[in-house]
Amino acid sequence: MPSEPPVSSAPSFVGPNLTHRSVLAERLIDLEIEPGSEFVVEMIPRGYSLGEDWESLPKSAQSSENGVVLISVVDSLTGIRPRLAFLPPFPIGDASESNSFDTLRQHMVNHHTIAIILLRLGHWAIAIAEDGELVVTKTGSRYVKNQHKKGGQSSNRFRRGREKWIRELFDQAGEVATARFRDYPGHLEYLAMGGDRVVLSQFLKRIKLPDGLGDRALPNRISVDQPGRKALDDAVRDAWSYRMYEFVD
């Protein structure tokens, strides 16, 4: 009889679950009080390579620009087993490994001030947030008609008109963003963006944000249906959230 193929020993994970830092802090407390539990906490900056125990994590977790947090449980019978993996909202500076959550907790409460741009065709929202709280907000809209389905000269005229409307939308949002970011008295560390990936890329190609802020965009794109004041409230929570993967036995 032909031999059966070997069964992979790599664990499987569920996620990502977007977990705000306040919820994560409570989760860490729950882990600490589990009876007889010991944990290894690894904080790894960008450019890492994961071992086979973590190879079932998706590609986004295998090469995060912000680095990765790995939590393993120490079992007296089975050894060290993966438990949780987090993609942090802000970059990890230095690599560390410990049997406590102290370094991770410090990373969670570090001070950050960021700019936020939410953009979809027709609507935009601009904000500045300090430590998870909005301190500057501005929203607006500019009409951009949907795609023209007919062909011929009429379609070409519509395409040129639509490109003009999109440029005007970008210029309007860019003017407001540049003014708000430049006038802000503090230092903006990063740029968080939300909306359609292609639209955001086109926007950054056309608009030059002050102090090279466009080059400091965070890798985690914020999910948003229609930019506005309510979307900014959701976005600032998203911006301070970890993407969590949990091991499944």
Residues 89 and 141 in one domain: no
Residues 30, 109, 19, 233, Cα dihedral to 10°: 140
For residue 6, what pLDDT is reported?
43
Question: How many structural domains compose the chain?
Answer: 2
For residue 7, what pLDDT is reported?
46
Decide: residue 120, CB within 10 A, 0-12 exposed, 13-18 middle, 19+ buried. buried
Contact 9, 237 (CB under 8 A): no
In a domain? residue 6:
no
For residue 8, what pLDDT is reported?
46
Structure tokens at 37: 């539990």
Interatomic CA distance for residues 231 and 149, integer angstroms: 30
SS3 (DSSP) at 77: coil
In a domain? residue 7:
no
Model pTM score? 0.86
CA gyration radius, the chain: 22
> What is the domain extent for residue 106?
12-110
In a domain? residue 245:
no
For residue 248, what pLDDT is reported?
82
Does the pLDDT at position 61 exceed 70?
yes
Q: pLDDT tens, 115-124?
A: 999 999 989 9
For residue 63, what pLDDT is reported?
93
For residue 154, what pLDDT is reported?
60
Residues 126 and 234 in one domain: yes
Residues 149 and 75 in one domain: no
Q: What is the average per-residue pLDDT within 170-177?
A: 96
Q: pLDDT tens, 62-115?
A: 999 999 999 999 877 767 889 999 999 999 999 999 999 999 999 999 999 999
Residues 78 and 134 in one domain: no
Residues 164 and 209 in one domain: yes
In a domain? residue 139:
yes
Q: How many residues does the chain have?
A: 249
Q: For residue 203, give the CATH number of its domain.
A: 3.30.420.60
In a domain? residue 73:
yes
Alpha carbon 85 to its chain's center: 15
Interatomic CA distance for residues 198 and 212, integer angstroms: 20
For residue 159, what pLDDT is reported?
62
Residues 121 and 231 in one domain: yes
